[in-house]
Structures are given as structure tokens and as C-alpha cells.
Amino acid sequence: MNFQDDLRKLADKIRQYRDEARVQLHLAREDVKDEWDDLEKDWEKFRNKLDSVIHDAEDASHDAKETAQRLGEEVRAGYQRLRDRLK
């Protein structure tokens, strides 16, 4: 599996956590909704970075790839925490 596949797999997992959290969000308290809003901003940043790295995969610097990976892991962890709080 190459780096692009790893990022796509990470994006798929984030989408899954995001969708699960969205289903339960209507039951959440206001503080959880604030956390959701913050995560949505981070999700958009990650998607933009992911699109850039995948589109320019050959030219993307090692730092850009690591930044995308790190941001994706942070967003995934955030959605996972939120999902776990809603269970």
C-alpha cells in the first residue's frame, strides 16, 4: 500500500466516524455541538490538504505529506472521541 492509499484509507475512516457522529449529534449537549463545529473546520482543512497532496503527489514535499497525515490523524481522533462521547 502506498502513501496515497494510506491517506485515502484514513479519509474513509474519518468519513465513517463523521457519519456515525452526525447520526447521534441531535442528541448531543451544546458543548458537544461546539466540538463538532470545531471538528468540521478541521475536516475541511484536512480535505483541502488531502486533495492537494493527492493531486500533486509526485511534487508534494515530505513535510506536506507528513502534515496531511498528522492532520488526518488528529481529525480522526477528534471524531472518534466525539463518537465515543455520544454512545
26 contacts: CB under 8 Å, gap ≥ 6: none
- CB of 21 within 8 A of CB of 82? yes
**pLDDT beyond 90 at 64:** no
Q: What's the pLDDT score for residue 49? A: 84
Output the pTM of the full model: 0.66
pLDDT score recorded for residue 60:
66
- How do residues 45-60 score in pLDDT, each as one tens digit? 999 888 887 777 666 6
Rounded mean pLDDT of 23-34?
76
The confidence score (pLDDT) of residue 71 equals 92
